[in-house]
């Protein structure tokens, strides 16, 4: 019986939420699109957690509401203890794109007027909230969110404010308050007395997450709770649901010690970390291709010729330090114009990248795929008609060399060429620099 449900506003973050719940022994499935309610109920009987991976982060408010309202309503019908609106741990959003304010309004309209907790912190990934202000690490240095290089210069939702209360207030007229870390000694009592529509919660350590999870669940009024937060909130809620101890869960095995296999990477990411990952792969002999009309054919040819891996990317955005424009196949301009991805361009890029995956799956024996870019990955999987993904490895064991926030999944699809792929949906800023090679030799 389902105990928690979530909607992820991008696919990479959705796999992280799935991982956090699974770490506590809560068996889950991540759906790519919402099935009819009767099918959803049948699935709910098989899992502890049901998630739906979405693309709301890349949508303007009206399109976003059209996506999330029916999904949140359906998840509420499963009667879990909590429904989480999963957001990125860097709170990616703006009044015109991926609006968290609109999501909060929709959630309150469906779940009632109780204050909605918002927890963006995820200490495991170097994301912290203190006195309502959010901080994010990059290259080993913790920055205030509006000064973190990647987020300050994000091509779609650049962050100009670290105070999450002000950040959210720019997106909604709901009353926003906060609970500061200095009062967590009496968190339960303070949480019960919240005077506001939305409450931003601090967290600096995993112990803070535990306290938040208990307080949030204790604040329930009998019906499903609605909460918004990162994978840190998923971990907090999972810990509270299991009373701090791990359930037995489902036994899984790692990818094993098999011989190295070829890997396909398709990327719409413009982050520094993805650029570094591509650079290292190219130095290791991988083929790098810019997405164009010939990319699918060229990728198949390269893999058939024995390339250890192929990266098909969408070009380079100006202002990305360490971008890979000097390597083969990476010109200074590509499918992305300077300044980032236009809302109308993203679906076309995803369609092109999905065609590469389909061609490689049908034309080679490659079964390992990485999709890089939070806004890209969801659209690519939808284009491929992937039904759902499940974890492919033991959630209690860190996959050596992958890095925090990277989850290896297995696809479920009607198309036999696409069913059973080992896939990583990688956010732009996450993963070890060696990730592509690590997956190849795993």
Same domain, 289 and 161: no
The reply to whether 342 falls in a domain is: yes
The whole-number mean pLDDT for each consecutive block of 10 residues of the chain, a chain of 442 residues, reads: 95 91 94 94 94 94 98 98 97 96 98 97 97 95 95 88 98 98 94 95 98 93 92 97 71 53 94 93 97 97 97 66 35 40 75 97 97 88 94 78 88 95 90 95 88
Q: What is the pLDDT of residue 317?
A: 40
Tell which residue, 27, 31, 137, has the closest CA to residue 396: 27
| C-alpha distance across the termini of the chain, in Å | 34
Scan for tokens 């070009």, then name that residue: 315
Total count of domains within the chain: 2
The reply to whether 416 falls in a domain is: yes
Scan for tokens 């490895």, then name that residue: 393
Q: What is the pLDDT of residue 328?
A: 37
* Contact (Cβ atoms closer than 8 angstroms) between residue 265 and residue 310: yes
CA dist., res. 123 & res. 117, Å (int): 18
The reply to whether 255 falls in a domain is: no
Instruction: Extract the tokens encoding 117.
Output: 């907790």
- Parent domain of 147: 4-241
The reply to whether 251 falls in a domain is: no
Which pairing describes strands 4-8 and 49-53: parallel, antiparallel, or unpaired?
parallel
Q: Which helix or strand (DSSP H or E) is residue 301 part of?
A: helix 295-304
Tell which residue, 272, 324, 286, has the closest CA to residue 431: 272
Same domain, 204 and 56: yes
Tell which residue, 224, 222, 197, 201, has the closest CA to residue 213: 201
248: alpha, beta or left, given left = phi > 0 and alpha = psi -120 to 50?
Answer: alpha
Alpha helix (H) residue ranges in 346-418: 346-363, 374-383
Same domain, 326 and 362: yes
* Contact (Cβ atoms closer than 8 angstroms) between residue 349 and residue 335: yes
Q: What is the pLDDT of residue 406?
A: 87
The neighbouring-strand residues paired with 94 are 97
Supply the CATH number for residue 378's domain.
3.40.980.20
Q: What is the pLDDT of residue 399?
A: 66
Same domain, 232 and 360: no
The reply to whether 246 falls in a domain is: no
Same domain, 129 and 230: yes
* Contact (Cβ atoms closer than 8 angstroms) between residue 157 and residue 94: yes
CA dist., res. 144 & res. 326, Å (int): 31
Last residue of a domain, one of 209, 241, 273: 241
Same domain, 201 and 166: yes
Q: Which helix or strand (DSSP H or E) is residue 22 part of?
A: helix 11-23
Same domain, 46 and 193: yes
- What's CA 90's distance to the chain center, in Å? 11
Same domain, 231 and 306: no
Same domain, 70 and 171: yes
Q: What is the pLDDT of residue 253?
A: 46
The reply to whether 195 falls in a domain is: yes
Same domain, 195 and 273: no
The model's pTM is 0.85
Q: What is the pLDDT of residue 150?
A: 87
Looking only at Cα atoms, what is the longest distance across the chain? 65
The reply to whether 253 falls in a domain is: no
Q: What is the pLDDT of residue 252?
A: 52
* Contact (Cβ atoms closer than 8 angstroms) between residue 12 and residue 92: no
Supply the CATH number for residue 32's domain.
3.40.50.10840
Contacts of 231 (CB under 8 A, 6+ apart): 13, 16, 17, 19, 20, 86, 89, 122, 124, 125, 405
The reply to whether 247 falls in a domain is: no
Same domain, 273 and 227: no
CA dist., res. 224 & res. 75, Å (int): 9
Q: What is the pLDDT of residue 248?
A: 59
Same domain, 162 and 306: no
């Amino acid at each position: 019986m389902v105990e928690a449900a979530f909607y992820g506003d991008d696919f990479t973050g959705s796999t992280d939420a799935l991982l956090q719940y699974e770490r506590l022994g809560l068996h889950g499935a991540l759906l790519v699109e919402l099935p009819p309610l009767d099918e959803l109920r049948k699935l709910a009987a098989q899992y502890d957690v049901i998630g739906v991976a979405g693309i709301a982060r890349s949508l303007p408010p009206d399109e976003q509401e059209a996506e999330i309202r029916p999904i949140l309503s359906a998840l509420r019908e499963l009667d879990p203890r909590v429904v989480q609106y999963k957001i990125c741990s860097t709170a990616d959003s703006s009044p015109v794109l991926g609006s968290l304010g609109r999501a909060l309004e929709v959630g309150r309209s469906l779940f009632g007027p109780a204050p909605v907790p918002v927890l963006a912190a995820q200490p495991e990934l170097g994301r912290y909230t203190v006195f309502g202000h959010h901080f994010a690490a990059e290259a080993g240095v913790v920055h205030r969110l509006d000064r973190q290089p990647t987020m300050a210069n994000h091509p779609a939702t650049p962050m100009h404010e670290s105070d999450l209360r002000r950040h959210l207030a720019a997106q909604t007229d709901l009353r926003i308050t906060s609970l500061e870390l200095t009062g967590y000694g009496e968190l339960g009592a303070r949480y019960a007395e919240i005077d506001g529509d939305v409450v931003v919660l601090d967290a600096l350590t995993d112990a803070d997450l535990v306290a938040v999870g208990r307080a949030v669940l204790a604040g329930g009024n009998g019906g499903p709770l609605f909460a918004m937060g990162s994978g840190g909130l998923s971990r907090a809620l999972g810990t509270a649901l299991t009373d701090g101890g791990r359930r037995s869960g489902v036994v899984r095995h790692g990818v094993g010690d098999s011989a190295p296999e070829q890997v396909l990477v398709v990327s719409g990411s413009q982050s520094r970390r993805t650029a570094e990952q591509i650079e290292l792969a190219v130095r290791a002999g991988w083929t790098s291709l810019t997405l164009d009309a010939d990319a699918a054919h060229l990728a198949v040819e390269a893999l058939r010729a024995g390339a250890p891996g192929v990266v098909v990317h969408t070009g380079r955005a100006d202002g990305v330090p360490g971008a890979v424009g000097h390597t083969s196949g990476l010109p200074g301009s590509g499918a992305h114009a300077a300044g980032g991805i236009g809302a109308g361009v993203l679906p076309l890029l995803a369609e092109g990248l999905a065609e590469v995956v389909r061609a490689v799956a049908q034309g080679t024996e490659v079964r390992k795929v990485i999709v890089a870019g939070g806004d890209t990955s969801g659209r690519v999987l939808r284009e491929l008609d992937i039904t759902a993904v499940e974890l492919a490895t033991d959630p209690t064991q860190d996959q050596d060399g992958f890095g925090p926030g990277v989850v290896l999944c297995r696809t479920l699809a009607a198309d036999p060429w696409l069913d059973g792929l080992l896939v990583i949906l990688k956010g732009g800023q996450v993963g070890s620099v060696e990730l592509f090679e690590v997956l190849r030799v795993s």
